[in-house]
A = this chain, B = another copy of it.
């Protein structure tokens, strides 16, 4: 009994080790979760109330069309309902895009070291990933990405904006210019997981073209990561293509209900954005205090420069020993940073104490 050639050829790998596994392996009972850019500020109380009221009806499947949520999203974005596709998070939507637009042996392009689940899907569906490095400032290098896409005749180009793990943001004008520089038969998969944290005036306006799929989520600013729900914005043609292979009943019924209520609670979102900005400012001040710098972030996380990849790895491990879970970028030039998610004031205090202790115990941070 053999698996398919593609699956047989894959290395056993997971894009991420979950914090629960780290805790199990170390016998830890608690962990300050600052590693997955979850919202420490939680879901909207209105979303929690709406979901609580409906838990007894969880024996019913959710609406396979996610109609009510798509209607609300279409109204918010100003597009047709048929241009909105709801699935169980951006991870699933990226998989659908790869499946629908990348042939076995086809090439996809992304920034080296960006959100790894895209690469996971590309190799998982038998494609090949080509990458372009971040700029020295830590932004995706749009010129290098477009050149790589043209050279490799890429079928899909992945861009996270705001970017993960750098936190940098490219304004509408730069994204549009990049889009126009791509090969005419390449799909731009624009991962806007963190778009809710960006300045709406700077965000590329949703444009609808068969060569563009935008994906968004309720996991970050809306605080519903555990619910698994996100959406794609694209043309009717593309939505209908993705629909042909989408898991019809893949979305949790309560996630649909929670997402709809969360979308309507603008006060909670505004509060989360304020708290997130406060957390970023605090991390930046902490970095200055310790004699280092951060990458300006438009997201709910901040990259702090540790001077070298080895020291960044050491600090991450030492923080874990002290019960603080963060992550770090894996590829140069960002691998000398640690990435810390916005926490509540309490979580920030715990992180700051541990971070000060960990760096003081060792040598000071020497930025190159």
Chain A contacts to B: CB under 8 angstroms: 1-5, 7-8, 10-16, 18, 20-21, 24, 33, 36, 38-43, 48, 51-52, 55-65, 67, 88-89, 91-92, 95, 99-104, 117, 120, 124, 185, 187, 210-211, 219, 223-228, 238, 240-241, 243-245, 247-255, 258
From B12, B117, B223, A59 is in contact (CB under 8 Å) with B223
Closest to A245 in B: B124
Top-10 shortest CB links A-B:
A226-B253, A20-B63, A59-B223, A1-B210, A58-B226, A18-B64, A252-B252, A39-B59, A10-B244, A124-B245
Q: A325 to chain B: closest CB distance in Å?
A: 11
Are A244 and B12 CB-contacts (below 8 A) given A101-B3, A224-B58, A255-B252?
yes
Q: Which residues of B contact A225 (CB under 8 A)?
A: 58-61, 253
Min CB gap A38→B, angstroms: 5
Main secondary structure of the interface of A (DSSP, over half): loop
Task: Give the docked Cα–Cα distance between A36 and B120 (Å).
Answer: 34
Chain B residues within an 8 Å CB radius of A4? 99-103
Nearest opposing residue in chain B for A257, CB measure:
B226
Q: Can you list 21 A-B contacts (CB < 8 A)?
A: A2-B185, A4-B103, A7-B99, A7-B100, A18-B63, A21-B65, A24-B67, A39-B59, A42-B57, A48-B58, A55-B55, A57-B226, A58-B224, A60-B226, A61-B226, A62-B226, A91-B247, A225-B253, A227-B252, A227-B253, A228-B251
CA gap between A56 and B4 in the complex, in Å: 41
A252: which of B39, B95, B99, B226 is its contact (CB, 8 Å)? Answer: B226
Complex contact B59–A224 (CB within 8 A): yes
**A57: which B residues are within 8 A, CB to CB?**
42, 226
Answer whether A88 and B250 are a contact pair too, CB < 8 Å, given A41-B59, A226-B59. Answer: yes
Residues B249 and A65 in contact, CB atoms below 8 Å apart: no
A177 to chain B, nearest CB (A): 19
In this complex, which of A18, A40, A219 has the most chain B Cβ atoms within 10 angstroms of its Cβ?
A18
CB neighbours of A48 from chain B (8 A): 55-56, 58
A91 near B59: Cβ-Cβ < 8 Å: no
A56-B43 contact given A1-B187, A226-B62, CB 8 Å threshold = yes
A95 close to B224 (CB less than 8 A): no
**Given A10-B245, A100-B7, A248-B91 in contact, is the A258-B58 Cβ separation under 8 Å?**
yes
The residues of B that contact A67 with a CB separation of less than 8 Å are: 20-21, 24
Name A222's closest neighbour in chain B (CB-CB). Answer: B59
Q: Other than A41-B59, A58-B224, A61-B225, give 20 A-B pairs with Cβ distance below 8 A.
A: A1-B211, A1-B238, A7-B100, A7-B241, A14-B243, A16-B64, A16-B249, A43-B56, A43-B58, A55-B55, A58-B223, A58-B225, A61-B219, A88-B228, A88-B250, A88-B252, A89-B249, A92-B250, A124-B244, A228-B249
Contacts of A253 in B (CB 8 A): 225-227
Which residue in B56, B117, B187, B219 is a CB contact (below 8 Å) of A42? B56
CB of A49 to closest CB in B, whole Å: 9
A5 proximity list for chain B (CB < 8 A): 103
Chain B: CB-nearest residue to A33 = B60
- Minimum CB–CB distance from A292 to chain B (whole Å) comes to 29
Residue of B nearest to A2 (CB): B185
Contacts of A243 in B (CB 8 A): 12, 14
